[in-house]
């Protein structure tokens, strides 16, 4: 019973983080800040939800599949986010007007190409 | 203009709430799945109206993540383990698709 309660609390928290991250995806001004909000929705939203499923189901095959899903998401999702942001910056997609610094541009890594 | 838009939106949402449009009778897990589906509606808005191609790529990536969570709740509701298998395969395919889209966006060939 107490395991059910703790797991449902994690699932509620994960759903809330998912919803807030998607709200940031709609409301923020440019690609990079949208990507930042969306990645927050990954690393606590869906991972917290899968951790709640693991707590409810315990040490069964169901629970271990959820744990494997957490490990896989933590490995792959930041890699994909980094690749997308790097490709967007190299594809000359502009920043928002409100942004104050572009350190990746001023480092001079793009001038070599 | 801005006040007029706020008033129109408030009127539409208020009339929908007065007609019991947001009330859903059912189990708790199905309600959570409904919240997740509502979030994916926002993501589909960003896919359709995204100003640049990178916005659409980010939205497709996040849509895959939302579907993984939705499949986990589905498995909990039906008490069947194979939904998590589908979630793992979906995560793998979403990751590969994101990398391929990023490579196309950067302007390189796929066999580079």
* Partner-chain contact B58 A26, CB within 8 Å: no
Burial of A52 (0-12, 13-18, 19+ CB in 10 A): buried
Residues B47-77: pLDDT tens digits?
998 788 888 988 998 998 899 989 999 999 9
* Partner-chain contact B54 A26, CB within 8 Å: no
ipTM of this complex? 0.85
Q: How far apart are CA B51 and CA B46, in angstroms?
A: 9
Q: Within an 8 Å CB–CB cutoff, is residue B74 touching chain A?
A: no
Structural contact between residues A18 and B39, judged by C-beta atoms closer than 8 angstroms: yes
Distance from CA of B5 to the nearest CA of A (A): 16
Cβ pairs A/B, distance under 8 A = 140
* Partner-chain contact A84 B57, CB within 8 Å: yes
DSSP state of B23: -
Residues in A closer than 8 angstroms to B75, CB to CB, are 53, 62
**Chain-centroid distance, C-alpha A83:** 13
Residues A16-72: pLDDT tens digits?
999 998 988 888 888 888 888 888 888 888 899 999 999 998 888 888 989 999 999
Give SS3 for A96. coil
Residues 6+ apart with CB under 8 A from A102: A95
Residues in A closer than 8 angstroms to B35, CB to CB, are 15, 19
Structural contact between residues B66 and A20, judged by C-beta atoms closer than 8 angstroms: no
Q: Is the dihedral of CA B68, B73, B74, B80 positive or negative?
A: positive
């Amino acid at each position: 019973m107490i395991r059910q309660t703790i797991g449902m609390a994690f699932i509620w928290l994960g759903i809330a983080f998912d919803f807030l991250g998607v709200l940031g995806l709609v409301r923020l001004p440019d690609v990079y800040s949208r990507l930042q909000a969306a990645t927050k929705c990954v690393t606590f939203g869906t991972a917290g939800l899968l951790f709640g499923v693991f707590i409810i189901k315990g040490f069964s095959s169901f629970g271990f599949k959820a744990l494997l899903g957490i490990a896989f998401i933590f490995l792959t999702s930041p890699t994909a986010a980094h690749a997308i942001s790097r490709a967007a910056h190299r594809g000359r997609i502009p920043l928002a007007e409100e942004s104050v610094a572009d350190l990746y541009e001023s480092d001079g890594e793009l001038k070599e190409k | 203009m801005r006040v007029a838009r706020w008033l129109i939106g408030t009127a539409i949402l208020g009339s929908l709430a007065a007609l019991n449009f947001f009330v859903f009778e059912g189990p708790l897990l199905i309600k959570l799945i409904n919240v997740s589906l509502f979030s994916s509606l926002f993501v589909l808005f960003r896919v359709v109206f995204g100003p640049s191609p990178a916005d659409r790529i980010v939205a497709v990536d996040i849509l895959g993540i939302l579907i993984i969570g939705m499949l986990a709740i589905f498995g909990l509701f039906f008490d069947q383990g194979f939904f998590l298998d589908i979630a793992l395969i979906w995560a793998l395919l979403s990751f590969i698709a994101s990398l391929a889209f990023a490579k196309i966006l950067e302007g390189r060939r796929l066999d580079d």
